[in-house]
Amino acid sequence: MKIALIGAGPRNLAILGRLLFTVNTKATYEIDLFDPQPIGGRVWDPFLTNNHAFLMNTYANQVTLFDDYELLDHETPIERPNLLTWAQTVAFDYLNDHPEYPDAYRNEVLTLISANTFASRGLFGVYAAWYFEEVQAACPKNIHIHFHQTEIIDMEKGARRFSLTGRDGFTSKYDRVVLAPGHIDNQPNKKQKELAAFAKRHSLAYFPASHPAENDFDKINENDQVLIEGLGLSFFDVILSLTGAKGGTFVTNNDGSLTYRPSGHEPHIVAGAFNGLPPRTKGVNQKESAQVYQPHFFTLKRMKEEASNNLGKISFEHFMKTLKQELTFKYLYNQVQLLKLDTGVSKASIISDLMHPERWSSINEKYGLHLDMSIDWDSLVFPAMEWPDAKTFQKNLHKHIENDIRSAKLGNDWSPLTGSYYILRDMRDTIRTLYNENYFFADGYEKMLTTFRAFDNQLSAGPPLVRMQQLLALMDAGILEIAGPGFKTSRGHSTFVATDRYGQHFEGTALIEARLSEINFNIAKSPLIQSLQKQRLIRKNDRLRKSDGSLLLGNTIKVDLKTLTVLDKNNQPVDGFFVSGIPLEGERWFNTVIPRPYVNTLIFEESKRLVEALQERHSHFHKLLQKKD
C-alpha cells in the first residue's frame, strides 16, 4: 500500500508514528511525507529567523509527539520522551551532530530546566526532526518512509488511486492520501488588496495576516510609527520582533518585574483590537505533564444525563451555567486553600460545603470568612467594553495587566483566577466530545462558535507570563501604546490611520495585521485546495445553518465525522482520501492543539481513527481491481 501524508506537522507525524506500531507486518507499506517546510511544518520551522525567540504556548513538559497512551513497542523498542525530557537528555548531542541548526537552540536546551518552561517554536521543530529520525530507525522492514520537501500542488482521483503532483515536478500515485496542511494562507480580500496598493503608492509597509515568523521587519526603524491590528498571540510575536529583535533588552528587576532598555531603533507602536485587551496570561506551571483537573459538576456523565432528558440535546444555556458553576467551584476552592485559618476551622469542612452549590451563599457567615462569592465570569471576558472614556481606559488597562500578572504568579493550579481559567483547557476533551458528537441544538452550535469561543479564547488561550510582563515593560518605556476598544484601521491621505470607540486618531507608516488567516478553504491560496474545489472532490460543510439560514460551517471541508473521509460534491465518500486538523475547525472543536503526554489527547485519538480507516479495505475494492488508474 502506498500512503501519502500531505503536511509534515504534528498531525501527520502522529499518524506516521501510529502506522509504525499498528500496520500488518505481512504487508508492504510505502509512506511518503510532503511539506515545503522541514519536518515539523511551517509554524515550527527552526530555520526561520525569529523562531528561536518565539515561544510555544504550551509548557515543554506537556508537549510530545509520541503516542504513549496505549501503544506498546513493536519489534524495535523506542524511547518516548516529551519535549522537556528530550531537551534535558539527548537534545544537546543531537544538535551537535546537526550543525545546520542555529547555535541558539544549543543555548536554549541548557536553560530548559523545569516544568515551568516554554520552549521556542523552532526547538519543537528540531524535536520533530529528531522524532522523525527515531521513527525511521525503528521502522519495520515492511515499511519504507520518505520525506519530500516540496509542496503538493495537484491531486487527481483515478479509478483506484490518487495521482499527486509536486511543485518540483514530482509525480506519483497513492492508494491513500491524508491532507493535514495546518493553517493555509488565503487569497487577499478587497480591503487587503486596497491596503497593499495604497502602501505601494506611498512607500509604506503593509503586512497582511500571516504567520508572524515569516514577516520581515528589517526595514522598520525608529522613524516609523507602526499600527498593529490585533492583541492575540500573534501580537506578542510581532512586538518582540519590533523591539527585542531591534537590539533592545528586557532587564529583570529585584521584584521580578521587567524593565525595557531601548536600543534606539524601535518604532513607536500603537496596537488595538475590537475588545481593547489581550487575553489572560498563563500562570506559573504547577502541573505535571499528565495532570488534568477532574471536574465535579461539569462532567461528561452529568452532561449526557441532562441530554437524555432533553431529546438527546443540551441547551447552550445549560452548558454555560454548568461550566461556570465548575469555574466558580475552582475559584472558591483555591481561595480556601490560600487561607490561614484560625484553630477550630477546618478547610476540609469548608471544602465539603463547597461541593454543594446551594450552600455557597452561607459559607462566609458559617465560617466567619470573606471569600469573594460574587464572581461574574462574563464580565471578565471583555471588561474594557464597559470603560467609558480614553482616560479611564488607560488607567484601568495598566491595573488590569498588573492584576493579571499578579494572579498568574500564584500558579496555574492554585491561583483563584488563573487556576480557574486554566481548567477550561483541562475540560476541553469533555467540551470537544459534546460538540463533536452532536449534543447541541443548531442555535447552540452557533453560540459555541461565537459566544463561547470568545469566552474560552480570552480566558484560557493567552500568552506565557513572560510575554505579558514584556508587554507591560514596553508600555512603561513609552514604546507601545494600546488603543481603546473598537480599534479599526484604514487608509488616510498618505498614511495608514486607526481609530477607536473613544474617537482617538492614530497615523502610521506601517500597518501589521497580527493574526493568522481565517480558516476558510473557499478562499485558500493553496493550488492544491483550489484544484480539489474545481474537481469538486471537496465541498462546503452544510450540516448546520445559522438563524438567518446561511451555512454555519461553510468555511470547513465536509468529512465523514467517524473516519474523517472526505465527502465529494454528491455527498459521497472519496474512499482513501482523508482530511485532518485545521481545515475542520468548527466541524470539530478546537483543533489547534499540540499532543500532550498520557492523556489520550485529540491528535492521538484522531490518528488512531484515521489509521484504522486508511487500513480498511473498501467494500467495492474487488470491482476496482479490474479498472485502470
Q: What is the pLDDT of residue 318?
A: 98
Q: Answer whether residue 582 is part of any domain.
A: yes
> pLDDT band at residue 76, thresholds of 50, 70 and 90?
low
Mean of the pLDDT values across residues 245-256? 96
What sign has the CA pseudo-torsion 308, 309, 315, 321?
A: negative
What tens digit of pLDDT does each residue of 337-358 get? 999 887 778 999 999 999 999 9
Q: Of 422, 438, 460, which residue constitutes the final position of a domain? A: 460
Domain that holds residue 442: 300-460
Q: Please determine, for residue 191, whether its predicted confidence score (pLDDT) is greater than 90.
A: yes
pLDDT (0 to 100) of residue 71: 53
Nearest to 291 by CA among 181, 400, 383, 426: 426
Find the mean pLDDT for residues 183-208.
Answer: 97
Average pLDDT value for residue range 50-76: 80
| Residue 571 forms part of a structural domain | yes
Percentage above 90 pLDDT, the chain: 87
Q: Is a pLDDT exceeding 90 seen at residue 601?
A: no
Exposed, middle or buried by CB within 10 Å (0-12, 13-18, 19+), for 387?
buried
User: Any bridge partners for residue 268, and if so which?
Assistant: 225
Q: Where are the alpha helices (DSSP H) in 150-298?
A: 190-201, 233-242
Neighbours of 98 (CB within 10 A): 14
Question: Which pLDDT belongs to residue 77?
Answer: 59
Residue 629 in any domain: the answer is no
Q: In terms of domains, do 160 and 219 share one?
A: no
Same domain, 314 and 394: yes
Cα R_g (the chain), whole angstroms: 26
Domain count of the fold of the chain = 3
pLDDT at residue 440, rounded to an integer: 97
Give the whole-angstrom CA distance, residue 502 versus residue 481.
15
**pLDDT attached to residue 73:** 46
pLDDT of residue 70: 55
Same domain, 204 and 335: no
Considering the domain architecture, whether residues 595 and 502 belong to the same structural domain is answered as no
Q: What is the CATH number of the domain that holds 271?
A: 3.50.50.60
Domain final residue, candidates 415, 437, 460 = 460
pLDDT for 628 equals 44
| pLDDT single digits (tens) 448-483 | 999 999 999 999 999 999 999 999 999 999 999 999
Q: Could you give the CA distance from residue 62 to residue 52 in angstroms, rounded to a whole number?
A: 19
Q: Is the pLDDT of residue 281 over 50?
A: yes
Whether 295 is in a domain gets the answer: no
Residues 536 and 412 in one domain: no
pLDDT digit string, tens, across residues 561-599: 999 999 999 999 999 999 999 999 999 999 888 999 888
Query: What distance lies between CA 556 and its chain's CA centroid?
Result: 17
Region 20-26: mean pLDDT is: 82
Q: Please check the confidence at residue 52 and state whether its pLDDT lies above 60.
A: yes
Please count the other Cβ atoms lying within 10 Å of the Cβ belonging to residue 59: 24
To the nearest whole number, what is the mean pLDDT of the chain?
94
At residue 575, the 3 state secondary structure works out as strand
Same domain, 308 and 440: yes
Q: pLDDT at position 599, please?
A: 82
Residue 624 pLDDT level (bands cut at 50, 70, 90): very low
- Domain assignment present for residue 284? The answer is no
Asked if 165 and 37 sit in the same domain, the reply is: yes
| Contact assessment for residue 13 and residue 65, using Cβ atoms and an 8 Å cutoff | yes
The answer as to whether 307 is a domain residue is: yes
State whether 341 and 436 are in the same domain: yes
Segment 295-299 shows an average pLDDT of 98
Domain match, 239 and 194 both: yes
Q: Output the pLDDT for position 89.
A: 96
Q: Are residues 172 and 27 in the same domain?
A: yes
Alpha helices, H only, 272-385: 300-308, 316-337, 347-354, 360-367
Whether the CB-CB separation of 60 and 87 falls below 8 Å is answered with yes
Q: What is the pLDDT of residue 620?
A: 46
Pair (125, 255) in one structural domain:
no
**What whole-number distance in Å separates Cα of residue 94 and Cα of residue 19?**
25
- Which residue did the predictor score with more confidence, 82 or 615? 82
> pLDDT category, 23, cuts 50, 70, 90?
confident
Higher-confidence position of 201 and 604: 201
Kindly indicate the confidence band of residue 125, based on its pLDDT and cuts at 50, 70 and 90: very high
283, part of any domain: no
* Residue 95, in any domain of the structure: yes
- The model's pTM: 0.94
Q: Give the residue-averaged pLDDT of 538-566.
A: 95
pLDDT above 70 covers a percentage of the chain that reads 96
State residue 344's pLDDT score.
Answer: 79
Q: Does residue 304 share a domain with residue 432?
A: yes
pLDDT band of residue 220 (cuts 50, 70, 90) is very high
User: For residue range 356-388, what is the model confidence (pLDDT) as tens digits?
Assistant: 999 999 999 999 999 999 999 999 999 999 999
Q: Is the pLDDT of residue 69 over 60?
A: no
Residue 626 pLDDT grade (very low, low, confident, very high; cuts 50, 70, 90)? very low
Q: Give 423's contacts (C-beta < 8 A, 6+ positions apart).
A: 293, 295, 326, 327, 330
Residues with Cβ within 8 Å of residue 456, at least 6 apart in sequence: 424, 590
Compute the average pLDDT of residues 254-275.
Answer: 97
- As a whole number, mean pLDDT of residues 25-35 equals 93
Mean pLDDT of 16-42: 92
How many angstroms separate the CA atoms of 478 and 143, rounded? 58
